Structure 1
Amino acid sequence: MLESLRGYGAEVRLLLCTTFVLTLARAITLPYLVVYLSEHFALGISAIGLMIGGALIVGSLLSLYGGYLIDTLRSYTVIVFSTLAFALAFFVAVASRQLGMLFACLVVINLTLAVVDIAAKAGFCALLPVQARGEVFSIKYTLSNVAYAVGPFVGVALVLLDDRLPFVLSALLGLGMCLSYQRRGERAARAGLGGPTLGLLAVGRHLLGDRRLVYFTLGGALSAVVFGQFTAYLSQYLVTTTSAFQANQTVSYLVATNAITVIALQYAIGRRIGSRQLMPWLLAGMLLFVIGLLGFSLAQTLWVWCLAMLVFTLGEIIVIPAEYMFIDSIAPEHLRGVYYGAQNLSNLGAALGPVLCGFALAHLMPTAMFYLMMLSVGLAGLFYCLGARRQA
């Protein structure tokens, strides 16, 4: 992977660095947000869930407009202002004493991170030939997982000194990336070639009229139900069927298995995903999800849990870059930003996953949760097939 990184141009490496640093900044703070909200604002668990989930949903919806801006303005301008807003949101969040202001900051953090992510994807497509994009998408996803593996450990060390320090460091990382991109970014770069000639409402009608995009977005949302927040619904299941202590212990091993598998295998597998065989790759990923979920439903020992997570993670490794490649294959050059913004709506599925699983655990037998997840995988595969048929 390092050899491939050296082979890319400076602008591609800078985009990868920018998304990595911002993801690291978010990962430093995110795990301790629940504790912070509980201690400083005396919120209950349900209220905290609504606040964090609501901020993610609002940020995901607004990112569609962010994609429109990426197609309309210079990528340089959008990324510089987004990284600056990202940093300022962390500074304001740590100083805020009003819950409404903190919620607005969380929305801005989610939104700006999504906008930079969209700008990076569109930038890769503008800077690289089609055959090289699968590899760079895999590198980007690997770096994101490295950030999520390292960030919480950095946050632990800072929380021991002061629980505001993770926010401060995240803000400084965002500010540092803003200054770095302002100095080194390519000012003439534009993700969309010439920008959209249509207004926002007309672009929205175009998106809704593209059945391929609608099917892929629905498929992405349904697959995100399964892998978007798997730690949340696995924790819910384990707390229901075992003790809280055993649940925490098992989930920690599962998170470690997921992170190690992604970091070790994402690049090796993802770089082999080509644009001509996307549907077989996606169906293979769906099958691995189903096998992993079946393993979870039958697991009685830690080894079986970890083995099922290994298979499940292989599905994740395949599906995420393949989804990027599908959107890349159908997006018009001048509308790449809004197309990737539409794909970002799959976060709505990630937010829905724990809700569906909570309902299943409350009203059905616990293992039924996994069968609902398998149904979601099957529906996702159906929508992917419909989109691929439309493309053909």
Structure 2
Amino acid sequence: MRFHPVAWGVIIGTFLSRTGFFMTLPFLGIYLGKVKGIDPAIVGSILALSLLVGTISSFAGGALSDRLGRYPVMITAMGAWSIVLIGYVFATETWMFFVLSACNGLFRNVFEPTARALLADVTSDEQRAAVFNARYFAINLGGAIGPLIGLQLGAGSTSLLPFLVTAIIFAVYAAILVVFMVMFKERLKKDVAAEPVTMNQMARIVFTDKVFLYLLLGNLFVAGAYSHLDTTLSQYIGHDRIEAYSFLFVVNTISVLALQYPLAKFMKRYSSMTALKLGCLLFGLGLFGFGLFTNLFWLSVSMVVFTIGEILCFVVGDILIGEIAPQHLRGAYYGASGFAFLGQSVCAWIGGVLLQVLGFGQGPLIFAILMLLTFIALPFYQHGQYLWDQRQHQKKSCEKSSQVMI
């Protein structure tokens, strides 16, 4: 695949950073509960705060990248994220974990939409699906390796080594980005918007582009479903079977690596919105399976179903945003897509509360509720598909009219 050197840099850096991420942060809920003795509802609130702050910072991060350029925003965010990981080593009080969780969400979600916008900047329309598939492949390759390394380093236990190793990886990625900024900044100047987008303009984008709005509303519930992998599920299974949780995490990652490209090829027959609706359905069914089964084999089957939903929703979602967004507002659109993190925040909190109120023995009921919450996305995707089809039809009609006039 002949991608721009910057695209390859982002993809390789994504692999490194996600390896570090999956070494540490998926085990954070277990660490806070088992090692620090924090109640499940409080743990859910700590994890939810990261996602809530992520909603706001992602929204602002897109605007900053359009104003200041992609590289300064990415370098600052990744460097600061490294410092946050070191903070976990020294934190002793519950309030400190709330602060660190907020900072974790802040810097992660300033970085992520900016990196996606940079990928779109340096990639042609014809290669965009391939480059985003490669990025998602890198994310999940890191996800396959990260938990295994994390377990070897003692993640989820009293060991602080995973936090330190992850901090070093993030710092190295920030340094790599500095090198790329020096080498390719001049070449990419033309990709920065001539008229930077203000926060007010970003808000108008969300509420005037109805296709984008319905996509975001659906993504609230789908992103919420995905958040349970790192939060509710980690507490529900990981509180007494950490090896089983780690195994399911690896099943998730290997399933992505094995199924991503066959699914991408298969779903070319269908519209993007159809893929999102199918993904939403599978997300919910996979969640219900986590609560229904205790046998590791059926839990693994549920994870495969859950993972197919993940692939369909997230890869297609990124590509669809690239199709919807005007080129000069791409950073703003990817930043505004962080609105979906609100769903992650709320659903992570709901999961923690359900575990606290109903108890760990009520898995079928807890995950049935979470499944029904996921299915709320379906009518939003349905209406978004209707509006998108209308827009595409009008665009084709205008093109035909222009050709007739010529």
Q: What TM-score bracket applies, with the shorter chain setting the length? A: 0.7 to 0.9
Q: Map 1:307-346 onto structure 2 (within 5 A).
A: 307-346=301-340
CA contact (8 A) 1:294 1:370 kept: yes
- Give a deviation string over 1:120-169, Cα, whole Å, max 9, x none: 21122222222322222222122212222322332333349983322222
CA contact (8 A) 2:29 2:235 kept: no
Quote the RMSD (CA, aligned, Å).
3.4
Partner of 1:171: 167
User: Aligned match of 1:123 in 110, 115, 118?
Assistant: 118
Is 1:255 matched up with 2:249?
Answer: yes
Mean Cα deviation higher: 185-194 or 115-124:
185-194
Partner of 1:267: 261
Q: Map 1:89-128 onto structure 2 (within 5 A).
A: 89-95=84-90, 100=95, 103-128=98-123
Partner of 2:209: 210
The code of the aligned residue for 1:388 comes to Q
The code of the aligned residue for 1:280 comes to T
CA contact (8 A) 2:29 2:231 kept: no
- Give a deviation string over 1:190-211, Cα, whole Å, max 9, x none: 5964254443223323322322
Is 1:389 matched up with 2:383?
Answer: no
Q: Map 1:140-155 onto structure 2 (within 5 A).
A: 140-155=135-150
CA distance in 2, matches of 1:381, 1:64: 24
Distance 1:10 1:197, change over 3 A: closer
Distance 1:303 1:131, change over 3 A: same
CA distance in 2, matches of 1:346, 1:12: 25
CA shift, 1:171, in A, is 1.9
CA distance in 1, matches of 2:234, 2:173: 34
- Give a deviation string over 1:295-337, Cα, whole Å, max 9, x none: 5566474433322332222122111111112211211222222
TM norm structure 1: 0.83
Partner of 2:185: 187
Distance 1:373 1:204, change over 3 A: same
Partner of 1:133: 128
Equivalent position SS for 2:169:
helix
CA contact (8 A) 1:134 1:273 kept: no
CA distance in 1, matches of 2:380, 2:185: 39
User: Aligned match of 2:53 in 58, 68, 75?
Assistant: 58
CA shift, 1:377, in A, is 3.6
CA contact (8 A) 1:131 1:274 kept: no
Is 1:352 matched up with 2:346?
Answer: yes
Is 1:376 matched up with 2:373?
Answer: yes
The code of the aligned residue for 1:265 comes to L
**Which stretches in structure 2 are left out of the alignment for 5+ residues?**
391-406
Partner of 1:84: 79
Distance 1:171 1:251, change over 3 A: closer
Mean Cα deviation higher: 97-106 or 169-178:
97-106
CA distance in 2, matches of 1:250, 1:98: 29
Distance 1:261 1:206, change over 3 A: closer
CA shift, 1:68, in A, is 0.7
Distance 1:296 1:48, change over 3 A: closer
CA shift, 1:227, in A, is 2.5
The code of the aligned residue for 1:224 comes to A
Q: Map 1:26-45 onto structure 2 (within 5 A).
A: 26-34=21-29, 37=32, 43-45=38-40
CA distance in 1, matches of 2:161, 2:287: 38
CA contact (8 A) 1:71 1:191 kept: no
